[in-house]
Structure 1
């Protein structure tokens, strides 16, 4: 059934569009949706032709969070969410948010309608979030007597202060896309977040994929590090891997000639 939950389309420009297609349930997360999202992230992570990814939900919402009724009725059971496959860092539930960080290309979430609980944590797992001003976002797990546990410890600290995180988590308060922008929860707002996300993805796809991927790795590996020496060393290491390579040379030639560069897909 997981193949019915998520649609992955790869355009000729290297932009992949990932669509959650459970519109009748506001793209709520049942076991099949968890499986489909994890499979989509894994598929894209291994595709070197992907230069940017746009993640969004079909219908009225991005994702309304956990389909509690589905799990409580015994369709999979909530225990499966905490299972860890082999030596994976993230468990089954965490993978649908955390695994977007394992996709080498940038991932952009286009948020509209409801973005609650697990849906918000999925969006937080992406690199960039573009939300409609009237979108509704909430760390809603407290409503069900739970803590947020889909990788939020690896994402939220990079975005907002701990007191703001606690206030949102303790209360489950719903904020608009505009309010989310003001507190740093989203990157920017747009009346048409999907169109804006696709436009940004197309712009990114025209840049050297080697440099874009290296930049994502640089920030993901060093952003909250207290080890200045290691972070500075990582800058040098990644830069050394780019200088003089075909895509870097193509970028220089294009910059000097004002012509559109032609980049080759990364090896990995």
Structure 2
């Protein structure tokens, strides 16, 4: 578990930053591991430890057809020789879907369920039935967010240099909660929500982290979802391509791309005081680009 080395920081330089005397570095967690990258590894690390401690031999988790989490769990199963199961949203499997193809190649057993059944994934009765069906399984929530996940995300925070602002994309809230736990009180922690109507996540984050309830040094920004989860505008995709061309920073428009685009807009609006030091977390998920191409949403 500790053989995966720490990811590098990439310094970004350009005129908009120098004009406002802002220092920006990207924590390249997309480079943590070629297949189990970004926040997915951070969340999995201590869940896999807990799984071993509990004597479980199989991993059961949940995700959509193009899920980064499903991709990472399947890869972890192959890497650590674990039997994995994916409960997949939707009544049928698309055999040509690149994420699901990869998961199968890693040995993950895929179990498609109806969207109605999938909505039950967090209810105690459904989880009890699932545990009875998979008695040797460690059941991991969708996205990998739970108390054990926070330990890995707190480690991420502790690996960063002292800085004024830390930003991350926010889907389920686990990464943001872990960063709040691990960052210094003097650091402002900003989560960029990637889905619409995400204000409910504030309570989710507080339920995960007692520190988030006590401290005021964090905020969830909900105005940068760009249409909702899995949606993005041509402008956002053009921005992602510009960052690749000009700064050698690969982005996808679902998570880290949205966060970086939000950051760029905030900088242009003068949100950050002159002299601010900012670290933005690249949470990986670049495998999602294959799914976007497969659906002909990008070239």
Whether the TM-score (by the shorter chain) exceeds 0.5 is: no
Higher normalized contact order (CA 8 Å, seq sep 6+, divided by chain length): 2
TM-score by length of 2: 0.31
Of Structure 1 and Structure 2, the greater strand share is in 2
